[in-house]
Chains A and B, each alone.
Chain A
């Protein structure tokens, strides 16, 4: 009966979560505390209001989309394991991972991070970023600070650069290609303290 093993008991499927996400047990505990803190009514799950109560998220121009990313597949509640699985995308990529040992891809691989970002653009989840969707994201990020024409020209240029098969939409592979040179690991990782 040590201090860490008995506390892990309050988290369901802790070992499974640790294996699938790569979080350590200490991180998992901290995230559980955070989950309970956000869950103000103690219901055991989070709803969109709980996320909107976080100041830093509410003032983020794409805050609404980030919240949607947690509530994928039509559900309107997030339990702890889904919460952790999504946050696992933001773990820094492990440098010295044993390539042979991994049967499944961890959520924080480069591809998975890109997929997460892709979903922020692709609202209707059809696998392509259409011109409309791009315009919507740009409008969210820029608000009323730019005119409609400026918005259109920015979107036009972005699509022309990335759209390789000229179908007027950006697929996931085209998205990946256009971000080849970008250091995804630094930009899409949060420095979890040891």
Chain B
């Protein structure tokens, strides 16, 4: 203090005065944003106005780009959302190799050209396959002024660049800090209240539900998530399992802000672990130790015990096991379908125009992902509650899982794939290869056996 010259003192004074105005304005804004959404459901009209304005801005931006491209007589970058190559209905191995020979009596003998079929289908999958492209973010038809979704939509003119700069400023200068503060406040309040409620007797489950809902709703507003719930009458009831397609960890927040679920998952360390232990104090979640996850019977037992108790909240499970980019639904793991209780399917579809919600865990970590979510325009999604399904007579767990998956895919407008989401990290198993080998051998050799059988009769 003594060492401060008059000059630095003046600067110091000025700084304090300058900061105090924005800080007070800041707190006012904050209170406004906390009270309104967390207690009430937030005014829908403000949000839809926000979205419509954004859409109009995007349209204008894209018109600019098209006009400019036409001036220069160049092609605007086209997104091939259907893939690079024209995949006609896959001719079966048999048709391809035998050619047009439909006569059954002429056996096909091995031809050096047979390899072409395998070669071509192999290279086709290198160029474009159904699975790998599901593990990266979906491409947009037109630019939404976010750098991260800028595939060669380069800055065409000054106005567009200015607009983009303005957007950048708004998002990182206003929206991001606001949202981060909201999130931090929300989580701290949540931890505080759950610990408090944890001390109360069991009859305070009503209170704990309220606390959980408050926490989730604050998280929802901290992301500016604009959610439309459809068919609320099919909301999952107690003593059942709810399954949904998985795109991001935010799925949990979105679903849990509408009703309370029991979550299933691995016990993490650090901040997430703290939150998890906080949640358990006031509500029956099922967290596993890493060592227990491997033991499938233990998992199944805990799940069925929970479900058998009809007063307990429904369990929320994501059977895909990993995040997929919201254009398709991948194989559902059969574990949760073996338990034998009612399943409530839920379909979640995000609108990628305002911010892509897909978490690519190999490209960025959780914190970075959350920050980029909070610096997008908004997260807009639709949630469809589908009518409950039960396992039918003579249906095994895998068939039941596929049936549920097909319903979810149909409702959300997603592609229904048979592939395992685990292919993100591991390789395909050899069973598929064997299938192809079997097919080919039938074409070459199998016909001999049919022939001889027929002749014997």
Contact = CB atoms under 8 A, between A and B. Distances in A.
B121 interface: yes
Interface string A39-55: 01000000000011111
Given A31-B127, A56-B125, A192 B84 contact: yes
A178 B112 contact: yes
A190 B433 contact: no
Interface in A50-64: 51-63
Interface in A21-37: 26-27, 29-31, 33-34, 37
B115 A192 contact: no
Given A3-B74, A59-B436, A182 B113 contact: yes
A3 to B, nearest CB: 6
Given A6-B154, A53-B132, A55-B131, A60 B125 contact: yes
B392 interface: no
Nearest to A182: B113
A143 B127 CA distance: 26
Contact of B428 (A59, A143, A170): A59
B113 A3 contact: no
Contacts of A66: 119, 122-123, 126
B75 interface: yes
Nearest to B125: A56
Contacts of B432: 55, 58-59
Interface stretch (B170-178, B394-402, B440-448): B440-448
B116 interface: yes
Interface stretch (A12-20, A101-109, A134-142): A134-142
Interface residues of A, number: 63
Contacts of A2: 68-69, 72, 74
Nearest to B435: A59
A118 B362 CA distance: 38
- Which of A59, A87, A170: most chain B CB closer than 10 A? A59
B364 to A, nearest CB: 12
B292 interface: no
A179 B76 CA distance: 42
B132 A37 contact: yes
A57 B125 contact: yes
A90 B75 CA distance: 25
A59 B131 CA distance: 13
Contact of B122 (A60, A144, A182): A60
Interface in A102-160: 116-117, 120-121, 137-138, 141-146, 150, 154, 157-158
Contacts, number: 189
A63 B113 CA distance: 17
A55 B135 CA distance: 13
B440 A3 contact: no
Nearest to B124: A190
B74 A40 contact: no
Given A29-B77, A90-B120, A190 B127 contact: yes
B118 A61 contact: yes
A145 B442 CA distance: 9
A56 B154 contact: no
A168 to B, nearest CB: 16
Contacts of A56: 121-122, 124-125, 129-131
Contacts of B88: 191
B119 A190 contact: no
- Which of A52, A182, A189, A193: most chain B CB closer than 10 A? A193
B140 to A, nearest CB: 14
A182 B124 CA distance: 20
Interface of B: 65, 68-69, 72, 74-78, 80, 82-88, 109-133, 136, 151-154, 156, 362, 419, 423, 427-428, 430, 432-438, 440-442, 444-445
Given A62-B115, A63-B122, A182-B113, 14 more contacts: A2-B72, A2-B74, A3-B76, A31-B127, A51-B126, A54-B125, A56-B129, A59-B428, A87-B127, A90-B123, A146-B441, A146-B444, A154-B444, A179-B113
Q: Which 4 A-B pairs have the closest CB atoms?
A: A56-B125, A143-B437, A59-B432, A145-B441
14 contacts: A2-B68, A3-B156, A26-B75, A55-B130, A59-B435, A60-B118, A66-B126, A90-B123, A143-B433, A158-B112, A188-B116, A190-B124, A193-B82, A193-B84
